[in-house]
């Protein structure tokens, strides 16, 4: 989190509550959120509320076109972008940035709750492999697809470390004449 005084601000002094990385929209396919924020900005500027029923707009009469025109009538450009200034230096940022009103809430699932790391820990007595599960400080499954991905990149030493040294590597004593397993002489 940044201090409010370091956040970028618009020409009229508005500071955004949340900054989104634009690269997240194409990969997450959350284009509806952009249209929702255009509608929210348009509604806030005109003092009205909009019906957000699905399939209200068509290919010929798109939501983007409708809300873009309402933003133009309010004195903004078609896409609702604005000039912003750095809160640190006060200089104008090079790109025009979209600022909009959108309903947003925190998800229950957070990375800090889900991440799992294991260096050393308990092992299964029979297989000598790390036990499963976050609650018992267990390991994470390293499956065939993960193995194949590392093989494709030529990381044989990493594979040996993960699948042998850090997993169930052990010394086995074998009789040279009959080939059967033996136990070490104490």
CA distances 34 to 40, 97, 99, Å, are 10, 12, 10
Within 8 A by CB and 6+ apart from 43, the residues are 49, 50, 101
| Fold entry, domain 4-98 | 2.40.270
Q: Is the pLDDT of residue 46 over 70?
A: yes
In this prediction, residue 8 has a pLDDT band, given cuts at 50, 70 and 90, of very high
pLDDT digits (tens, 9 = 90+) for 118-130: 777 888 878 777 7
**For residues 168-176, average pLDDT:** 83
Q: Is the pLDDT of residue 185 over 70?
A: no
pLDDT digits (tens, 9 = 90+) for 150-159: 999 999 999 9
Predicted model pTM? 0.57
Domain coordinates of the chain in residue numbers?
A: 4-98, 142-186
């Amino acid at each position: 989190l940044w201090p409010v005084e370091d956040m970028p601000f618009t020409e009229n002094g508005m500071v955004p509550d949340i900054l989104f990385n634009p690269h997240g929209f194409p990969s997450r396919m959350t284009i509806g959120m952009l249209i929702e924020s255009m509608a929210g900005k348009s509604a806030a500027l005109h003092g009205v509320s909009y019906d957000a029923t699905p399939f209200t707009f068509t290919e010929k009469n798109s939501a983007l076109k409708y809300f873009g025109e309402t933003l133009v009538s309010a004195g903004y450009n078609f896409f609702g972008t604005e000039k912003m200034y750095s809160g640190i230096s006060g200089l104008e940022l090079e790109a025009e940035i979209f600022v909009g009103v959108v309903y947003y809430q925190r998800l229950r699932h957070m990375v800090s709750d889900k991440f799992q790391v294991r260096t050393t820990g308990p092992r299964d007595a029979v297989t000598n492999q790390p036990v499963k599960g976050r609650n018992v400080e267990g390991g994470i499954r390293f499956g065939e697809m993960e193995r194949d991905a590392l093989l494709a990149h030529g990381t044989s030493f990493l594979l040996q470390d993960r699948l042998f040294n850090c997993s169930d590597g052990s010394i086995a004593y074998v009789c040279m004449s009959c080939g059967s397993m033996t136990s070490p002489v104490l």
